[in-house]
């Protein structure tokens, strides 16, 4: 018969074994759950890869569902030609990089102003800023197109035209990267309202002692922003940089509205099927499954640059999201 102390030890050991067993069960459940969620998100990419690297004739091969018997670059090669891949990627990269840099500069300045300065109608202006996040770009697409098609900077060109008749009274910015860069410079570009909100939330969470110390050292507001606050805003900068890059890269509506020649990659991808028909690469004898190989190849080529960027920066991106104040 067990003594009281031995019984207590036995009970503690049983409790420890139950806790250890429940810990193992929880780990297995968590692993299975994360594996299932990962499969849901990764399935389209895995499917895209396995279809893109097989020939159109072998797309329905029942003996190779995920791993093709023979890797073929036929779909990749034809789709790159249809997309004018390097030209369209170059055009998209110009739009994306320049607009992202412009959005970083302007939205950080505006966000800092909303976070730290007091001025009349500040709350109303911030409310209007939030509305720009809600309002879809389609509602102002026509007016924006007309402004860029007949661009006249505050009437200066029309004034010069009246003085010097040889100077045109307007210029057209359509089919140029300025249709994206110029709004970004004034914190009115693609998703700029959200970027301003991110910077505002981040700067509001920083101690005011930093600015007071900089003021004592003789720094003015702009110098304090550039030398003190901006270097500390690395998490917000990385978040805005990645969001802006992805959204500008994937934008279709505005790109299709503003561009007619040397179109960005997202617009070219939408035209792949019709271009394949026009050039005789496919015809009506091809099955939908065979056509799908070209479409999946085009999709893979389109997402490849931002996918590589995310793979490289995903650690910094995850850490930055946690520190910008847009979650929780």
Give 104-118 pLDDT, tens digit per residue: 999 999 999 888 888
* Spatial distance between the Cα atoms of 248 and 245, rounded to a whole number of angstroms: 5
- As a whole number of Å, the end-to-end CA separation of the chain is 56
Percent pLDDT > 90 in the chain is 16
pLDDT digits (tens, 9 = 90+) for 310-321: 888 777 666 655
d(CA 71, CA 73): 7
In this predicted structure, the answer to whether residue 73 has a pLDDT above a threshold of 70 is: yes
Q: Are 258 and 175 in contact (CB under 8 A)?
A: yes
Q: What's the pLDDT at 204?
A: 87
CA triple 111-112-116, angle to 5 deg: 125
pLDDT higher than 50, residue 327: no
Residue with structure tokens 């036929």?
74
- Give the predicted TM-score (pTM) of the model: 0.81
229 vs 154: which has the higher pLDDT: 229
Of residues 137 and 200, which shows the higher confidence score? 200
Can you tell me which residue has the tokens 């509506």? Answer: 253
**Structure-token pair, residue 281:** 């690469």
CATH number given to 84-270: 1.10.3720.10
- Mean pLDDT for 139-157 is 85
DSSP 279-290: TTSS-TTS-HHH
Give the separation between CA 145 and CA 120, rounded to whole angstroms: 32
């Amino acid at each position: 018969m067990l003594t009281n102390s031995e019984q207590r030890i036995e009970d503690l050991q049983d409790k420890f074994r139950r806790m250890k067993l429940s810990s193992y069960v929880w780990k297995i459940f968590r692993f299975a759950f994360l594996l299932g969620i990962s499969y849901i998100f990764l399935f389209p990419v895995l499917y895209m890869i396995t279809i893109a690297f097989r020939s159109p004739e072998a797309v329905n091969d029942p003996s190779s569902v995920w791993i093709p018997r023979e890797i073929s670059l036929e779909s990749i090669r034809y789709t790159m030609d249809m997309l004018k891949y390097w030209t369209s990627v170059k055009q998209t990269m110009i739009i994306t990089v320049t607009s992202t840099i412009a959005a970083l500069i302007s939205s950080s300045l505006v966000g800092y102003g909303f976070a730290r300065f007091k001025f009349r109608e500040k709350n109303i202006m911030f409310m209007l800023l939030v509305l720009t996040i809600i309002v879809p770009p389609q509602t102002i697409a026509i007016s924006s197109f007309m402004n860029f098609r007949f661009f006249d900077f505050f009437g200066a060109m029309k004034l010069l035209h009246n003085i010097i008749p040889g100077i045109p009274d307007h210029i057209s910015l359509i089919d140029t990267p300025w249709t994206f860069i110029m709004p970004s410079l004034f914190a009115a570009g693609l998703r700029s309202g959200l970027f301003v909100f991110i910077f505002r939330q981040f700067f509001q969470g920083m101690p005011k002692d930093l600015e007071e110390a900089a003021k004592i050292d003789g720094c003015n507001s702009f110098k304090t922003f550039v030398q003190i606050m901006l270097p500390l805003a690395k998490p917000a900068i990385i978040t805005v940089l990645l969001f802006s890059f992805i959204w500008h890269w994937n934008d279709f509506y505005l790109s299709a509205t503003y561009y007619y020649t040397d179109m960005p990659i997202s617009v070219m991808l939408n035209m792949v099927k019709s271009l394949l028909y026009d050039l005789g690469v496919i015809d009506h004898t091809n099955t939908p499954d065979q056509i799908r190989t070209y479409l999946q190849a085009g999709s893979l080529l389109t997402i490849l640059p931002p996918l590589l960027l995310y793979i490289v920066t995903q650690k910094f991106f995850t850490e930055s999201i946690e520190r910008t104040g847009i979650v929780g």
